[in-house]
A = this chain, B = another copy of it.
Amino acid sequence: MEGDPPLRLRIFDLNCWAIRYLSKRRQERIGLIEDVLRREGFDLVLLQEVWSEQDYSDLKAKLGTCYPFSHYFRSGVIGSGLCVFSKFPILDTFLYQYSLNGYPYMLQHGDWFCGKSVGLLVLAWGGGHSLSAPHPCSHQLHAEYCREKDGYLPHRLVQAWELAQFIRHTSKAADVVLLGGDLNMHPQDVGIRLLRGWTGLRDAFTEATRFEGCENGCTLIPKNRYTVKTELLPFPLGIRIDYILYKAISSFTVKCEELKTTTGTAPGMDIPFSDHEAVMATLCIQRQQQAGDATPNTADLMLVDVVTEARTEVAVGLRAAQRQRYSTGRMAVLALLLLLVLAVAALGTLVGLTAEQPFPKLSFSLLAFVAIGILLLATSLHLFHTMEVKMLQGTEEQMQRALRALQEHP
């Protein structure tokens, strides 16, 4: 391919905010997305939050001629919401579900029910080029609901670590790796630095030769009519949480020639595609003789700091999870003791040891039911937090191993 004209790859990435019955003007917006995808003819389209399989099927049916290959990743109760449309054949897919993803009882946040995942695609493209098997992933990490007191940070860091490890282990034979999606993290956040440092992925926004769109590449902006304005109060320009990241492995180079975002509305319309802005990148891929991704020692030293910072946050999460495991366990034991006392009292009455009932029948059975309810709930939570502790411990250990390796062989 050296000497060949470079391959230009046009990518479209969007968090679609398409929740049935809940998202405003969903079908109209899906229609707009369909229009732009057909008009622009991208090579690869990465969509998130397409929660309804019906929406995916509709898109697939209508986009079939421009994008003959597509895939919907299934996971969790609601689904992963991830889908991909491609001009290139999809050779293989693989789904990795994060081991931690919020709490099932935080119904108002709902992340747990989505089974958040990273979807791996292996694509092949030809046309005279010998480039093969890149690994674009489309995915989303746990949302941040309160930046000041972010209880989900340890979970998001476990996810960022697992995502980085997944990319490292699955991309060894790939020519080009692409990662697109809503990462729910600001560019300077520890999770993004960890992901980028540990995988060597580069940020299309900072690398782009030409940029056109929202200031600072923001993808959640106050100007968009569907964003929650109060959440963006500390950020008058908005925040950047949707990314296209890439790297070349083996003997290829990738450059981002152009990056664009929408700016609050769909082009030429008065409503936006979604509450997020779409990110569109043009990557230029070329074969070269030498591997060009040698990481300098300074990067390794910075990586030590980033992994240490992430590990500290995971350790904080671990202690919180251990406390919750303990308190839910204690609650379950107390409920069990109460049930035993009630059982003894009931037995006593039955065999006639005590002349009168200790309680009226109604209060007695109410108390028994409440105790059973608490016992079941506390036991479930205890099991859940036990799993959480295990996964946080496992991640902390892996990070420790990574740190040791970085310090021993910088």
Residues in A lying within 8 Å of B, measured CB to CB: 73-77, 79, 90-97, 99, 113, 115, 120, 165-166, 168-170, 172-173, 361-362, 365-366, 369, 383, 386-387, 390-391, 393-394, 397-398, 401-402, 405
Contacts of A390 in B (CB 8 A): 74-77, 79, 115
Contacts of A172 in B (CB 8 A): 172-173
Look across to chain B and name the residue whose beta carbon is closest to the beta carbon of A384: B77
Write 27 A-B pairs (CB below 8 A) sorted by A numbering.
A74-B390, A74-B391, A74-B393, A74-B394, A74-B397, A75-B387, A76-B390, A77-B386, A77-B387, A92-B168, A92-B401, A92-B402, A93-B401, A94-B165, A94-B169, A95-B99, A95-B394, A97-B97, A97-B99, A113-B383, A115-B387, A172-B172, A172-B173, A361-B362, A362-B362, A365-B369, A369-B369
Look across to chain B and name the residue whose beta carbon is closest to the beta carbon of A91: B405
A156 shortest CB reach to chain B, Å: 18
This chain's copy number in the assembly:
2
Contacts of A383 in B (CB 8 A): 77, 113
Residue in contact with A173 in the complex, picked from B96, B115, B173, B391, CB distance below 8 Å: B173
Interface of A is mostly: helix
A75 touches B169 (CB 8 A): no
The 4 residue pairs across chains A and B that have the minimum distance between CB atoms: A172-B173, A74-B394, A74-B390, A369-B369
A177 shortest CB reach to chain B, Å: 13
Contacts of A91 in B (CB 8 A): 405
Contacts of A73 in B (CB 8 A): 394
Contacts of A77 in B (CB 8 A): 383, 386-387, 390
Query: Bound complex: CA of A168 vs CA of B122, how far in Å?
Result: 12
Contacts of A165 in B (CB 8 A): 92, 94
Contacts of A398 in B (CB 8 A): 93
Interface centre among A169, A365, A402, by most B CB within 10 Å? A169
Contacts of A369 in B (CB 8 A): 365, 369
**Known contacts A91-B405, A97-B99, A115-B390; can you find 7 more A-B pairs with CB under 8 A?**
A79-B390, A93-B401, A94-B165, A94-B166, A94-B169, A172-B172, A365-B365
